[in-house]
A and B are shown apart, each in its own frame.
Chain A
Amino acid sequence: MSVKDKNFIIIPQLHVERMKKEDTLVIEAGRTEKHYWADLWRYRELFYILSWRDIAIRYKQTVIGVLWAIIRPLLTMAVFTVIFGKLARLPSEGNVPYAIMVYVAMLPWQFFSSSVSEASNSLIDNTQLITKVYFPRIIIPISAVVTSLIDFFISFGILILLMVYYRFMPSINILFLPFFLLIAFLIASGIGTYITALNVKYRDFRYIVPFIVQFGLYISPVGFSSSIVPEKYRILYSLNPMVGVIDGFRWSLLGEGSAIYLPGFLASIAVVVFFLILGIRKFRRMEKTFADII
């Protein structure tokens, strides 16, 4: 038998009062895979607690924690508005103020980038846990993504203030916003888990992550509208999954002025699904050895 064949079965056994046959936990070759998700469900309590811990620590350590969630997107918005809107004179979408158009894109982008950066270090930061107790490891990067979601909601509050300031009324499309947020969550989780796995295996990978994030900011339509991309390149451009997410955010918050380019959007969704599957598979393949190599 090769090392690769060793998988293990875990039968849920949460409230064990008596010794019953079905309480038996078998650690053996070849059967764990189908119990993975059941196990994940069984450990949901730990997932809540770890997410809560990350959030508590983040906002406890420093007042800057909350301020940071506000300042970062606001400053980036200001810079992009000046550079792309005022200096480069790029068009906004419909009659939407340029600043709002940028800020609406900043929301999912900030969420995505902080998720990926937080997730990528999450396992190494939790080495102590991983080498001491068992739980499905994927809980850790996902809870990092959830923590970034809190930042997202804080930043979203600022958006409401901005809209009041500019006297801008969002359209009825806003009802679809949760759907686009879900897509943002999925892509953040997919890429986040993938990079997390690589980060445990290759310790110098973390130097590459900030670069990827930085680079992504400029190739995603954050500072400008994706409608300025020439029509024939739009499908290609939409292979960046954040294009679909950002277009979706703009469409649902800004309304008719910003249309979704449908073939491109579907391409983005396909890429999201691809990365989600890739990330989770890579993570699970690596997961078995985390405790040994970390």
Chain B
Amino acid sequence: MSDIVIKAQGLGKSYAISHKAGERYLALRDVITCKAANLWSRLRVPLTTRQVNTEEFWALQDVSFEVRQGERIGIIGVNGAGKTTLLKILSRITEPTRGRVEIRGRIASLLEVGTGFHPELTGRENIFLNGAVLGMTRQEIRSKFDEIVAFAEVEKFLDTPVKRYSSGMYVRLAFAVAAHLEPEILVIDEVLAVGDAAFQKKCLGKMEDVAQQGRTILFVSHNMAAIEALCSKSMIMLAGKNSVLGSTAETVQRYLASVSNSASLPLADRRDRRGRGNISFKEMSFLDKNGMVSNVYSIGDDVYIKVKIENKYDTDATVKLALSVNTSHESLISCDAILKGQTFKIPVATEKIFTCKIVSPPLNYGDYEVNLAVFYGNEPEDWIISAGRFSIRSGDFDGRVTTNPFPVLSRFEWEAE
């Protein structure tokens, strides 16, 4: 078909992950000591029995899909499902390990607005810089300059270094440049998580314009409302694999159903954890107020989080328990037992179950992650980032449905004097 603009076939991307604790960057010092150590062990141990402490991790596996010109595709999935990796491959930031993509037309990505902004430069200078970074020529930027400035509403501050901008102005300017880029294919990852509600509305409007002009959009978001408003078709990413492209309404439903199936999670296989590991989390599950396993709540519901913890020490251990509720960007709620002066005893070589009740968390419609930690003494024994997720899906706030994007809701009263 001639109107296919993106054709991905069997895309795969693997990363090597190292299991050495706390080692994020390779250091020459370590390489040298490691080589020396290896040399020594090679003298004593045959080569084949040496330990390999890296493991292959497939962030994407066999992803295939086709997008036609003018389609607006939503990509849905929990964090770590490979959405961002896919977008990074499409925008050529990283290379696939396997497979092939054919792309027709200029592709531009808004993986994060404000890429390449420099705080010391003025608004005017940053428009040119950012435009060039996103792939515009000076000619193009000049011809759109006034439009960009008007959209961002920063006329008065054009010659002020952007370090003096308010964060709202900064984001508006950044989005304005990106929005005027006019590529054939626009890739957007969570840009709507920024700015105030009015500006978000403006952005959505701009994106609808872009789509109406027959441009193709790939849109990644956790905001189901935005996906439903903007996208004609969607697909779900799950553990690096993609579902077929289907109608957005259907796909969103399927996604929500699948999310609620992950309300009970084994944690023993999680590798991305920190701490000594002698006391560790084995399982966690989300329960509702009736004790049913579910991780989909209404606004204002109590959230129950049940964890099973194992003590492998040969003594009893008195531990501190903590969990936190976060969005993908920010920490919101801390349920650290120490705040209430509580510690818990886990008898030698046993597993014990604890439940944390979060009383009516003031959370808005959205997806939230839970981090778990257990401390023995002052050292972390086990610490898992994003151990599980729950969603607040429905419900009302004082009798009204809320679609505003702020994660935290509070009771309030407006009164006229």
Contact = CB atoms under 8 A, between A and B. Distances in A.
Contacts of A130: 93
Given A8-B95, A202-B28, A46 B100 contact: no
Interface string B102-123: 1111110101100110101100
Given A133-B115, A202-B31, A291-B88, A27 B121 contact: no
A131 interface: yes
Contacts of B107: 25
A127 to B, nearest CB: 11
Contacts of B102: 24-27
Interface in B131-148: 132-135, 137-138
Nearest to B112: A132
A45 to B, nearest CB: 6
A27 B101 contact: yes
A23 B98 CA distance: 22
A49 interface: yes
Contact of B95 (A6, A45, A61, A208): A6
A28 interface: yes
Given A25-B102, A29-B100, A128-B116, A202 B109 contact: no
A288 B25 contact: no
A54 to B, nearest CB: 10
B100 A53 contact: no
Interface residues of B, number: 47
Contacts of A61: 120
B132 A49 contact: yes
Contact of A291 (B94, B100, B112): B94
A129 B105 contact: no
B115 A132 contact: yes
Given A19-B69, A204-B29, A288 B132 contact: no
Interface string B52-70: 0000000000000000010
Interface string B205-223: 0000000000000000000
B3 to A, nearest CB: 8
B382 interface: no
Contacts of A57: 118, 120-121
B107 to A, nearest CB: 7
Contacts of B103: 24-27
A292 B94 contact: yes
Given A132-B112, A203-B26, A291-B88, A45 B31 contact: no
Given A1-B98, A6-B95, A288-B95, A202 B27 contact: yes
A133 B91 contact: yes
Contacts of A13: 105-106
B5 interface: yes
A270 interface: no
A293 B115 CA distance: 19
Given A203-B26, A292-B94, A26 B132 contact: no
Interface in A90-138: 128-135
B183 to A, nearest CB: 8
Contacts of B100: 26-29
A201 interface: yes
B152 interface: no
Contact of B97 (A6, A14, A49, A50): A6
Contacts of B135: 133
B105 A56 contact: no
A60 interface: yes
A60 B120 contact: yes
A88 interface: no
Contacts of B115: 128-129, 132-133
B89 interface: yes
Given A129-B115, A202-B27, A203-B25, A134 B101 contact: no
Interface of A: 1, 3, 6, 8, 10, 13-14, 16, 19, 23-29, 45-46, 49-50, 53, 56-57, 60-61, 128-135, 201-205, 208, 288, 291-293
Given A16-B105, A57-B118, 15 more contacts: A3-B14, A8-B92, A23-B104, A46-B132, A60-B120, A60-B121, A61-B120, A129-B116, A131-B93, A132-B111, A133-B135, A204-B28, A204-B29, A288-B95, A291-B88
18 contacts: A6-B97, A6-B98, A10-B92, A16-B105, A24-B103, A25-B107, A27-B101, A46-B132, A46-B133, A56-B121, A132-B93, A132-B111, A133-B91, A133-B93, A133-B134, A135-B133, A202-B27, A204-B28
Closest 7 CB pairs of A and B: A134-B92, A202-B28, A49-B132, A28-B100, A203-B25, A132-B115, A25-B103
